[in-house]
A and B are shown apart, each in its own frame.
Chain A
Amino acid sequence: MARKITKSSSGLVRHKQILDGMNQTEKELFALTYDAACRSGKSFAASQGFWQSCIKHNANIDWLRQLAEPTPLNHAAHFVVKRIHNDIHSGNDGSLTALQTVLENAQHFNIGETRLLIKILELVAQTLRPTQYKIGIEIQALNRTIAHQYLPSAQNRLQESITPQQQIQESVMPTQKVQSNSPKQFVHVEQVDLTQYYQRDDEYGQKIETRWQTLWHASHRGPQLASKLENQDATFAQSDNNGTMVFALADGVSTSMGARLASAISAREFCDNLASQLFQKKSSDAKDILLNGTAQAQHQLEKVLNLFMASPESNDFAIVRGQVQPMVAVRLLENTLNPTQKNWGAALSTTLIGGFIQPSSKKNIFDVHLAFIGDGVVEFYDVQKQTVERLLNIDANTTEISNAVCPGPLGRKSVEQSLFLQPFEMKRGDWLLISSDGLARGHEKYLFKVIDDSGFTTSQKHDEKFAWELLENTAKSADAQNVKSLFNDNLSLILLNIK
Chain B
Amino acid sequence: MGFLTHKRATSHTPQVIALIIDDSGSMRENDKATQATASVQDLLIQLQASTQGASGWRFLLNIAKFGDNITEIAVASPPLEIDFNSIAFAATGGATEMPKALQWAAWAIEQSLHKCRQLPGYDETNAPNPLCVFFSDGKNTSRDSVPNSAMALRSIPFTGGNVDVVACGIGMNPNDFPIMQQIASRPELAANIDPYRLGDFIAEVGATVQYDRNAVDLLRNTEQYYYD
Contacts and interface: CB of A to CB of B under 8 A. Distances in A.
Interface string B111-122: 000000000010
Given A328-B45, A341-B46, A343-B46, A259 B52 contact: yes
A347 B85 CA distance: 22
A132 B34 contact: yes
Contact of B54 (A132, A227, A344): A227
A332 B53 contact: no
Given A257-B49, A331-B45, A228 B38 contact: no
B53 A254 contact: yes
Interface in A296-343: 322-325, 327-328, 331-332, 341, 343
A328 B84 contact: yes
Nearest to A129: B34
Interface in B24-67: 33-35, 37-38, 42, 44-46, 48-56
Interface residues of A, number: 35
| Interface SS of chain A | loop
A395 interface: no
Given A227-B11, A484-B121, A134 B53 contact: no
Interface string B177-218: 000000000000000000000000001001100110000000
Contacts of B73: none
A229 B35 contact: no
A259 B49 CA distance: 11
Nearest to A260: B53
A119 B214 CA distance: 46
A498 B38 CA distance: 58
Contact of B52 (A131, A137, A324, A325): A324
Interface in A101-139: 130-134, 137
Given A343-B46, A344-B49, A254 B88 contact: no
A417 interface: no
A270 to B, nearest CB: 21
Given A225-B121, A227-B56, A332 B45 contact: yes
A484 B54 CA distance: 14
B49 A256 contact: yes
A84 to B, nearest CB: 15
B83 interface: yes
Contacts of A255: 49-53
28 contacts: A132-B34, A132-B37, A132-B89, A133-B88, A137-B85, A228-B55, A229-B54, A229-B55, A232-B53, A252-B53, A254-B52, A255-B49, A255-B50, A255-B51, A255-B53, A257-B52, A259-B52, A324-B49, A324-B52, A328-B44, A328-B84, A343-B203, A344-B46, A345-B50, A399-B8, A484-B12, A484-B121, A484-B123
Interface of B: 8, 11-12, 33-35, 37-38, 42, 44-46, 48-56, 80, 83-85, 88-90, 121, 123, 203, 206-207, 210-211
